[in-house]
């Protein structure tokens, strides 16, 4: 794989993937948190209308409470905020490396900077993959333990 092919297929491809994943996790996290806040705001509002038995309002308040717990659980289980931050950090680090390389700025101000670029980019990607593998392993151990 030559330099242009590596940059186009590997570096740009990975940058695009991390960017899309960061955006997706960001949108899901913010959207679910906003929904959670809106639902939570309705609970005390509806509680003010309870008179006598008012079974429909009591059921609605209970249902809204269940929705809040579900949304909170999904946010925690999917680690949306953590993934968003991690993916964005990796994406921006890849972009940073590409700019340093293209401008021949340190550490790429050497005779043959391409192997260094590959090494640093692959380290960034490997770090992300290692973190994911640790998370999956920890999850399995927690499940089995």
For the chain, 145 residues long, give each residue's pLDDT as a single digit of tens: 899 999 999 999 999 999 999 999 999 999 999 999 999 999 999 888 787 777 888 999 999 999 999 999 999 999 999 999 999 999 999 999 999 999 999 999 999 999 999 999 999 999 877 766 666 676 667 777 6
Is residue 134 domain-resident? Answer: yes
Count of structural domains within the chain: 1
Q: What is the pLDDT of residue 17?
A: 97
Structural domain range at position 106: 3-139
**145 within some domain:** no
pTM: 0.80
pLDDT of residue 113: 96
Q: What pLDDT does residue 135 have?
A: 65
Position 60 scores a pLDDT of 92
In this structure, is residue 87 part of a structural domain?
A: yes
Q: Would residue 59 count as lying in a domain?
A: yes
- Of 33, 31, 35, 14, give the one whose Cα is nearest residue 94: 14
Q: How many CB atoms lie within 10 A of CB 127?
A: 14
In a domain, 117, yes or no: yes
Q: Is 59 exposed, middle or buried (0-12, 13-18, 19+ CB in 10 A)?
A: exposed
Counting Cα atoms < 13 Å in the Cβ hemisphere of 63 gives 7
Torsion angle defined by CA atoms of residues 12, 85, 27 and 38, in that order, rounded to the nearest 10 degrees = 180
Three-class secondary structure of residue 104 per DSSP: coil
Assigned domain for 71 exists: yes
In a domain, 91, yes or no: yes
């Amino acid at each position: 794989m030559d330099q242009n092919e590596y940059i186009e297929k590997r570096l740009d491809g990975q940058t695009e993937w991390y960017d899309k994943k960061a955006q997706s996790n960001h949108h899901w996290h913010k959207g679910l948190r906003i929904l959670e806040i809106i639902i939570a705001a309705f609970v005390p509002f509806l509680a003010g209308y309870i008179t006598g038995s008012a079974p429909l309002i009591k059921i609605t308040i209970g249902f809204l409470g269940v929705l809040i717990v579900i949304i909170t659980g999904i946010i925690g289980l999917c680690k949306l905020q953590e993934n968003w931050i991690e993916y964005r950090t990796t994406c921006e680090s890849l972009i940073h490396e590409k700019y340093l390389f293209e401008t021949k700025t340190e550490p790429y101000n050497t005779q043959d900077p391409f192997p260094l670029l590959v090494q640093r980019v692959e380290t960034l990607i490997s770090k992300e993959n290692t973190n994911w593998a640790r998370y999956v392993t920890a999850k399995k151990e927690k499940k089995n333990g």
